[in-house]
Copies of this chain bind each other. A is one copy, B any other.
Amino acid sequence: MLNTNGLHVAVVGATGAVGKQMLDMLSESALPIKELTLLASKRSAGKTILFKETEITIKEALPEAFEGIDIALFSAGGSISKQLAPEAVKRGAIVIDNTSAYRMDDGVPLVVPEVNENELFNHQGIIANPNCSTIQMVAALEPIRKSYGLKRVIVSTYQAVSGAGLSALEEMETQSRDVLDGKNTQPNILPVKGDDKHYQIAFNAIPQIDKFQENDFTFEEMKMINETKKIMGDSGLKVTATCVRLPIATSHAESVYIEVDNEGDASAPDIKRLLSEAPGVVLQDDPKQQVYPMPVDAVGKKEVFVGRIRKDPDYAGGYHMWIVSDNLLKGAAWNSVQIAESLVKLGIIKA
């Protein structure tokens, strides 16, 4: 049952890969929800979705739909956010936006609650949820940064197909069967739906996520670079990234190499201890027992899993780690709902 007191929450893009997870996370959340409005494209309007034993009819996402909304969770693509988030704010809502539309804008807090929750006090109506691959990395690196300082981050990602949406997931499944059956297959979606060329993802690795930028990095790579600096509040941190799409349904993995500032204080056992105590992080690191995080084990879990922590034998202050998390949950829906919970907890919004 929904609360009689509490917040009127809207989800924009309720029928998408992340939108569906947002409803799950809202239903598990302690957020006091008085009313839930589900918004989507005209095509989906009129369909119903069950939320906590209540059937909710999807409405078309129009400016007027935000009247009376307290918190609006957006996950319907950047152009929808560009168009409708200001309309929601104008009508008094706080927007938590899961697209890249506003992330790097001044005056828009980019928040991972375990890292920089207090940035929420500076919001001007729109709060940005970071990119999935950034969120899990900064959640694991922040405890290390706080203790030893961070000089450099060099990351190579192993990213799941669900990050490209439900149609990409379907493409991977159909393609995998075709390849196993020795049939020809015609890719239509990955790596980037709006790009010219499409490549096979089944039993392959595609070193392109999102479009290429002028500097030959992809937009996904630049998101990791720029968002990490903004979230950690350190423009001098050196971050660089290679992002790769792989035939994995859900959960991103990351091979992360870091250099700490105070190398004399750090050690692999110390980093393991820090991470074992960190909020939202689960240490899975026991090589003798073959214990390390893997994508299939992280699916459906809210935490960030870290393992394979070890010192670079050749370089003082250099450490490796392997970070895995469900890209649709902590990487998207759960972090967005966590931000909503933080807004209530910090008294920024009154339930």
Contacts and interface: CB of A to CB of B under 8 A. Distances in A.
Interface in A168-217: 173, 176-177, 180, 191, 195-197, 199-200, 203-208, 212, 215-217
A313 interface: yes
Number of copies: 2
Given A180-B173, A292-B208, A287 B216 contact: yes
Chain A interface, DSSP helix/strand/loop, else mixed? mixed
Interface string A245-266: 0111100010101000000000
A22 B88 CA distance: 65
A215 B200 CA distance: 37
Nearest to A173: B180
Contacts of A239: 314
B207 A308 contact: yes
Interface in A14-62: none
Given A176-B180, A216-B310, A315-B240, A204 B296 contact: yes
Q: Which 10 A-B pairs have the closest CB atoms?
A: A156-B156, A156-B255, A238-B314, A212-B287, A216-B310, A242-B255, A197-B290, A204-B296, A240-B312, A207-B322
26 contacts: A152-B314, A158-B158, A158-B244, A173-B180, A177-B180, A195-B290, A199-B290, A204-B294, A204-B296, A205-B248, A205-B253, A206-B294, A212-B287, A215-B311, A215-B313, A216-B287, A225-B314, A240-B313, A240-B314, A240-B315, A240-B318, A240-B320, A242-B255, A242-B322, A246-B247, A247-B247
Given A177-B180, A203-B249, A242-B308, 20 more contacts: A154-B154, A156-B156, A156-B255, A176-B176, A204-B294, A205-B246, A205-B295, A207-B292, A207-B307, A215-B310, A216-B287, A238-B314, A240-B257, A240-B312, A240-B315, A240-B318, A240-B320, A246-B247, A247-B247, A257-B257
